[in-house]
Amino acid sequence: MMQQPGRLIGLGVGPGDPELITVKALRLLRESPVVAYFVAKGKKGNAFGIIEAHLQEAQGLLPLVYPVTTEALPAPLSYEQVISDFYDEASLEVAAHLDAGRDVAVICEGDPFFYGSYMYLHDRLAERYETEVIPGVCSMLGGASVLGVPLVYRNQSLSVLSGVLPHDELKRRLADADAAVIMKLGRNFPKVRQVLEELGLADRALYVERATMANQKIVPLDKVEPMSSPYFSLIIVPGERWQG
């Protein structure tokens, strides 16, 4: 008799505050025999820190360790190729547990399908295995809550933009936006701030690092040290306030 494969479960665990994990995600986390998590070399990882206190002794842990993060690679290595190969290998590790009949919960900070690393496993495995994805509170919503600003009013539209965009493309999209969230800052921060200043949006823009985490930091945009802006930071340009 063939072994019934396990389920692949993408678990959104929220933006950082351990209390922002959903009841459903917590239940599935505790029920999963294997918990997989992405992590940089030598680190514990933010997502793992959120759920660590909820784990049971009998659960197996599967750390998926990134070979690189943002460092420059010597030629002929390409970051995109190295990371793609890593996701190929990680999906094989997860599939080995699924083939053995064990459910695997892949935890993901924020939401699995919103810039979440889980999605790259999902793309590789979802056609072969039963999957369930549990949405989570994403970082931009955590950011809006701690900054105390509504994102969009009434019929306004929200643009979610990557700070990696070239200067002119970022400027064009921001100029057309009613409201915006700019993510993936890090080393892109100086460019993003310059674009906001050129568009006259700097006074409206709000900056937060590690929203909802214990080491959260809210800093006026003009006081941010350009080279110290972490990956887990974002800028919100809220929609113009509507007097309803």
Q: What is the pLDDT of residues 39-50, one digit of tens each?
A: 998 888 899 999
pLDDT at 77 over 90: no
pLDDT tens per residue, range 157-189: 999 999 999 999 999 999 999 999 999 999 999
Classify each residue of 209-229 as buried b or exposed e, where b means 16 or more C-beta atoms within 10 Å of its C-beta.
Answer: bbbbbeebeeeebeebeeeeb
pLDDT at 79 over 80: no
Count of alpha carbons within 13 angstroms of residue 39, beta-carbon side? 19
* pLDDT score at 232: 86
Q: What is the mean pLDDT of residues 82-101?
A: 95
CB atoms within 10 A of CB 44: 12
* pLDDT score at 100: 96
Domain boundaries, the chain: 8-137, 140-237
Burial of 14: CB neighbours in 10 Å, binned 0-12, 13-18, 19+: buried
The residue among 149, 106, 140, 144 whose CA lies nearest residue 126 is 106
Does 233 or 42 have the greater pLDDT score?
A: 233
Q: In this structure, are residues 196 and 221 in contact, taking their beta carbons and an 8 Å threshold?
A: yes
* pLDDT score at 74: 58
CA–CA distance from 230 to each of 109, 152, 157, 160, 185 (Å)?
A: 16, 26, 27, 18, 7
Mean pLDDT value across the chain: 93
DSSP E strands in 27-103: the ranges are 34-39, 60-65
* pLDDT score at 80: 84
Reply yes or no on domain 140-237 having CATH 3.30.950.10. yes
pLDDT tens per residue, range 108-150: 999 999 999 999 999 999 999 999 999 999 999 999 999 999 9
DSSP annotation of 3: P
Q: What is the mean pLDDT of residues 54-63?
A: 94
β-strands 104-108, 179-183 pairing: unpaired
pLDDT tens per residue, range 186-218: 999 999 999 999 999 999 999 999 999 999 999
What is the torsional sign of CA 36, 37, 43, 44? negative
pLDDT at 228 over 90: no
* pLDDT score at 244: 66
| Fold of the CATH domain 8-137 | Cobalt-precorrin-4 Transmethylase; domain 1 (3.40.1010)
Q: For the chain, what's the residue count?
A: 244
Structure tokens at 157: 């539209």
